[in-house]
Structure 1
């Protein structure tokens, strides 16, 4: 009957494992192939304390990397607890490193920016352990290894022996069933080395499988089993297995979990990435500040440029809006073929008013006429039009009221004064309402005063005029006038200006049979002006966006530099169980954090600059959509330009990364 030892598969089984480097095209020639391991056959059972000894270049470190899932064999098979490791995916290998192995390196391989406790926590971060739980376990491990009072110190504040103890604590964080110790005493003095070896003995006695890689035969002799490696071959294996150690070995892992384990959650990994990124930003203030400056300038430029462009456009539109952004002028003229101008009849105007695209139809008669009040008299332009005049010209009253359509039909002798006309006839604080002006030979009662409009281009200033009802004007002032001097027609909306003009032209051609009229469309010119300014605003925004693009390129350069500087840290994280996507997420989060902070500061800077410009009288109108767009573009810039460095980091080979500077 077979014994249990014969039935149970070994914890680690290597058969004819070979490892080659090179043999690839490089430049104009072929890189020579070098075989480091030559057909390694090895079996290690759970609970063993094994020393693999060999001189420098014997292949022992390469063998350790293969055993720990940091590297793969070129040929041969590696079975872990009966499972073929060659069939493992990258995530499954990360699980194996995280759950089964604990690495103790000669160079300690601690993350320099992290405290002792944070270094120990790293494997638990990628295992998805809650923050409180992993902090408590890390603290307990460090205290157990005699590092009370050193928990919050960084590696450069610890001695070599203390750093190695931190490394051992990290190896035990997730259980550390298999301790892979690569020259753990090589960089230590004799006393520290003895203390580390004593710790490894304690771990072996507690049931951990300890694999010690060393060139020191005295250190190797302390193991229960000695394997000698020379020129990539096993030349000696003491084969002495400790049955008692095997009996008290730690419980085996369920390797099937490697395919189901999700590792660190998105939220947990994101919090860790944010914490690491914020610390990196603090430690590299100058570089971070310069990177942020590019993003801040870009975002602020976009916001300010668009705000100035929109403010200028709105001011121009508002100023021109008093002339009417939907206004057209209709008048009589002689046809091109010759002959008298065609009259614009009331019936024509009534028909035009019925068109769907038309808003107002306002006939106008106006001429300079002598206006008197008391001893004051003046030649004033008397503007006779319907009650629609304030609406057509977007003009408000400063005092009193405007006449109504009913009063116009009743030929009521009413007058509304322009701002300057009031100042001339009623200086000081005299209330003009209810007083009588003599326009020509007819008295008119003052019922209102228009707000100050300002000067418009043209011969007459609206502020100097007085305004009377159209019908009363024809009956009392302009008796000889048979038709309006011109007619103001407005489109129903800005978008309908051109269609309104076309409909009006078609209607009058049908009614007159010939083009004996003229339509002037300044509203179309105003629209073209507004469209031109919109295009200018867009151009300003695009110019400003270039600076945002430059800031994004700066982020990419900084992240590439960061990846290069932190290559060893990436290797450490991979050795402790980080998956490719964990590394990708971490560096992508760091890039986006930089642009998020830069975008936020850029929005604030844009608002401050805009406020200063407003104080100086520059027309500025902030757009929430522009601010949100600039901010989102900054974040997208971080995502786009940070992806390539993050992907570069995620694709690093763990062994190459660990050897990096």
Structure 2
């Protein structure tokens, strides 16, 4: 016996139940359809013929009974296998054409081949050939609204044939056409039937049904008559081989994935078209993403710029500097003393780059009739290098000045302003330090105060020997300033100095060793925290933008429900529908992200012109863009999943 291509056994379909009255639309239909048949199912509106077509086309499942396709029970097939049948075995021709409004005639025809994974070149050629064959060669680039009803129906027939169209399911294909266009469509269906395609025509028009070789009349969900019941149907070709071939292809290829690259490109192209068609709404949706990304990038850039500015200022006070001084006296121990011999010994350590003994105190300084109290310190020639504190006028004293205890001085900016005023050239002038004359040889660059301390610019720097002999009468330093060889290994230098000093002082710890690294690290942590807070505040706007994306995608799913049904009818799997809408959400977010980055750069440029510290980080920019994309995925997932789970029949009949 020849295996029927389609066989129904006591198939029933009912709707409702539980909270609504149960309505049985198909009530125990049994029939067989073989390859090569041209069958018309005729009946009045409400007779159940459209529901029967949906069951035959695997758009809907029967409530009870068996549906065998090429001997395979359809009830055993999963959603991907059903999609394969709709894509590879069936081709739908609907009364309402059901073309995707945003796609061209060529793109509508190619859709089943995209989901089948057909290479782009092959599907372009086949779609062009089909449209040419149906007299639409000059209309390939037209969209549905630019075509007449007859032309749209021919496009839907070409789409039905794209993957072979072994079984053409035509639901009232002439119902919305004028008589001439209807005759042309029926002539096409006659031609397809003569070529061996199974054509199942659903109609209420008996004249149209008379074109078929077999007429099945249905009423109230039951078969009233079947013209094939009294004689065997005529088949064309080798029907047994055709059914077996489809069964074999179903068993082998139903779960295979299509060409993801082609599907992704088509999804992105469709997403871009939708965005462009609804560009005003798209722009409003993008606004949240744009503001969010721009805010994150700008806030982080401002935070990083401020951090770098603060760190640069702190570094100018010596980020690798350690301070060594004698310990304070206690009831049991006298004050610790650091000697020049200690200084010389510490200076030989490999972890030490430079070392400078310091002796100083606040002293009265006079120029002319002006008396001011300033910090006067004796230092060696490493002063400028250790503290990164250059001379902006004149020069620093030399090693020869240090060796000879020369009475020369380098003054800070505030000393110059308070003693001499802005109009006096200080170089070569004499100042009295505790009535000892010192000649000014240089002026230090302005530095300001660090961490609330005394203003660093209110100081006078003289050679160490001159200070010891002429001002303080002691050669022992008050403290020692040490520059570590590596600013990243200050702790290692501190440990080496501590060990050496204990050795020099016979194991006593009568000294103190401190550094500014902890202060700088604490400041850096504070700035990092501030940057993160600014970024978090800005990220809230990105979150709001994501909610906007989700809202617009939910609206899009509702507006395009019929399109989703069309894609499912042409073979789209659930993952294809999910990919389509996720692609739209991600593309929306990507465009918003790129626009936000561009806006951030413009804002950053404006801030720089306003002398506000801004430092753009590639990591921050890429991170903000990645967050925008992730936002699209996260907030687009729920609408995409909702679209993928729609019932094909309900989606197709939605308004």
What TM-score results when the alignment is normalised by the length of structure 2? 0.86
1:256 and 2:248 correspond: yes
The farther-off stretch of 360-369 and 649-658 is 360-369
1:175 and 2:169 correspond: no
Determine helix, strand or coil for the equivalent of 1:243.
coil
1:364 and 2:344 correspond: no
CA contact (8 A) 1:342 1:512 kept: no
1:161 and 2:142 correspond: no
The farther-off stretch of 409-418 and 614-623 is 409-418
Over the aligned positions, Cα root-mean-square deviation in angstroms equals: 3.8
1:55 and 2:44 correspond: yes
Give 1:254 shift.
Answer: 3.7
Distance 2:403 2:32 in 1: 116
Give 1:333 shift.
Answer: 6.3
Give 1:527 shift.
Answer: 3.4
Give 1:414 shift.
Answer: 8.6
1:118 and 2:107 correspond: yes
Show the counterpart of 2:59: 70
Determine helix, strand or coil for the equivalent of 1:236.
strand
Give 1:201 shift.
Answer: 1.1
Give 1:94 shift.
Answer: 1.4
Residue number among 243, 256, 276 corresponding to 2:234 in the alignment: 243
1:228 and 2:217 correspond: yes
- 1:26-45 → structure 2 map (5 Å cutoff): 30-45=19-34
Show the counterpart of 1:465: 460
1:215 and 2:173 correspond: no
Give 1:37 shift.
Answer: 2.1
Show the counterpart of 1:529: 523
Distance 1:146 1:523, change over 3 A: closer
Distance 1:512 1:554 in 2: 73
Show the counterpart of 2:476: 483
Tell me, which stretches of 5 or more residues in structure 2 are unaligned?
Answer: none
1:311 and 2:305 correspond: yes
Show the counterpart of 1:548: 542
Give 1:553 shift.
Answer: 1.4
The farther-off stretch of 449-458 and 277-286 is 449-458
Give 1:154 shift.
Answer: 1.8
Give 1:452 shift.
Answer: 4.3
CA contact (8 A) 1:386 1:408 kept: no
Distance 1:263 1:522 in 2: 63
CA contact (8 A) 1:330 1:487 kept: yes
Show the counterpart of 1:629: 623
Residue number among 90, 98, 108 corresponding to 2:97 in the alignment: 108
1:95 and 2:88 correspond: no
Determine helix, strand or coil for the equivalent of 1:34.
strand
Give 1:63 shift.
Answer: 1.4
1:600 and 2:589 correspond: no
Determine helix, strand or coil for the equivalent of 1:621.
coil
Distance 1:314 1:415, change over 3 A: farther
Distance 1:58 1:641 in 2: 43
Residue number among 6, 9, 32 corresponding to 1:12 in the alignment: 6
1:193 and 2:182 correspond: yes
The farther-off stretch of 234-243 and 616-625 is 234-243
The farther-off stretch of 245-254 and 81-90 is 245-254
- Deviations 1:497-519, CA, capped at 9 Å, x for gaps: 78988998899799599987667
CA contact (8 A) 1:380 1:466 kept: no
Show the counterpart of 1:3: none
Distance 1:554 1:230, change over 3 A: same
Give 1:364 shift.
Answer: 0.9
- Deviations 1:550-587, CA, capped at 9 Å, x for gaps: 11111111111111111111111111111121111111
- Deviations 1:133-175, CA, capped at 9 Å, x for gaps: 3233323322322334333222222222222122112111222
1:655 and 2:649 correspond: yes
Determine helix, strand or coil for the equivalent of 2:61.
coil
Give 1:242 shift.
Answer: 5.0
- Deviations 1:319-351, CA, capped at 9 Å, x for gaps: 232223455555456535477533333455567
Determine helix, strand or coil for the equivalent of 1:118.
helix
Q: How many residue pairs were aligned?
A: 644
- Deviations 1:583-627, CA, capped at 9 Å, x for gaps: 111111111111111111111111110110010111111111111
1:271 and 2:265 correspond: yes
Distance 2:40 2:145 in 1: 30
Tell me, which stretches of 5 or more residues in structure 1 are unaligned?
Answer: 1-5
Give 1:432 shift.
Answer: 6.3
Distance 1:379 1:571, change over 3 A: closer
Distance 1:190 1:227 in 2: 24
Give 1:297 shift.
Answer: 0.6
Give 1:187 shift.
Answer: 1.9
CA contact (8 A) 1:556 1:645 kept: yes
- Deviations 1:361-410, CA, capped at 9 Å, x for gaps: 5321235476999x999997653223432233122354787678x76884
Show the counterpart of 1:417: 410
CA contact (8 A) 1:426 1:432 kept: no
CA contact (8 A) 1:335 1:514 kept: no
CA contact (8 A) 2:430 2:437 kept: no
1:587 and 2:585 correspond: no
CA contact (8 A) 2:397 2:410 kept: no
Give 1:426 shift.
Answer: 13
Distance 1:543 1:499, change over 3 A: farther
CA contact (8 A) 2:420 2:426 kept: no
- Deviations 1:202-228, CA, capped at 9 Å, x for gaps: 211222111001122222122110111
Distance 2:600 2:405 in 1: 56
Distance 1:624 1:602 in 2: 14
1:566 and 2:542 correspond: no
The farther-off stretch of 161-170 and 252-261 is 252-261
